[in-house]
Amino acid sequence: MRGIARALTVVILAGAFLYLAFALSFGAPAASEMDDYFIGHGQEQTGANNIVTAVVFDYRGFDTLGEATVLFTAVLGVGLLFRKFSTEEDE
């Protein structure tokens, strides 16, 4: 029963993924005004030649702060798991 359900899930997902793979056209994005703006104005506005860096740290800098926070959170989580336990605790 479990096996059948799993096989069914995989088949349905395979169909959906293949549909998605052909629904979008590779190499010709449908809309790109925002990216054209970055390429056209990024150099003058931020002074960075590398437009990806300009996007990462300037236009979408707040995302990068979030991403750095995610890394910090993971380090805290790992530290929490491998912390030293006092004898009083059950661990």
- Find the binding residues for another protein in span 15-74 (CB under 8 A): 16-18, 20-35, 37-74
Q: Minimum Å distance from CB 41 to another protein? A: 7
Rounded Cα distance between 12 and 15, Å, is 5
Pick the closer one to another protein by CB: 1 or 27: 27
Q: Minimum Å distance from CB 1 to another protein? A: 14
Q: State yes or no: residue 8 binds another protein (CB under 8 A).
A: no
Fill in the DSSP letter of residue 86.
Answer: P
Terminal Cα distance for the chain, rounded? 39
CB atoms within 10 A of CB 38: 20
